[in-house]
Amino acid sequence: MSADTPRRIVLLRHAKAEWTQESDHERPLAERGRMDAPAAGRRLAGAGITPDLTLCSSAARTRETWKLFVGELPQRPKTVYDDRLYEASLGELIAVLNETSDEVTNLLVVGHNPGMHALADALAGETEGDLLARMNRGGFPTSAMAVIEFNGSWKSVEHGVGRLTAYWPPHE
């Protein structure tokens, strides 16, 4: 696959989690999150987007979100659970994207805020209409997804590389 192939990044913030006494890393999904995660999966499938690879934070709430989300997709992509996605900075998230093989066309990242919102905002250099403003007004709530498209190698992912082509908050 050529390095100038059109590529797509789907950023998914984990579904709504419980506020329990457990460590933050081990917090489970709340009932609302268990309903929102499959709905987000149906939305992505309905848009005709099937990930080739999913990178998922190792936190319990992201793993549970992914388990419920993936059941709605037409096929199950390869999944990598990555500790670096938990509490990752923008620079760390971009570094993880830069490691992606150019065999991957559609990448799904299941992570946390503020990272998912910051990454979507940073990568979306060219966006038509008010999509970026709408995403930024919404604050990237739990179960929100952003789709960013770009041409080139994953090694070239940096600020402003792509364009935001979809933003799907939950319940919209």
The Cα-based distances of 90 to 9, 116, 170 in angstroms read 15, 8, 23
**Residue 40: strand, helix, or coil:** helix
Q: Is 14 a catalytic residue?
A: yes
61 assigned ligand-binding residue:
yes
d(CA 13, CA 15): 7
Catalytic residue among 14, 64, 117, 149: 14
CB 77 within 8 A of CB 51: yes
Q: Determine whether 149 is an active site residue.
A: no
Residue whose C-alpha is closest to residue 12's, from 53, 46, 62: 62
Annotated catalytic residue: which of 18, 25, 72, 87? 87
Q: Could you tell me which residues are annotated as the binding site for substrate?
A: 61
Q: Which residues are catalytically annotated?
A: 14, 87
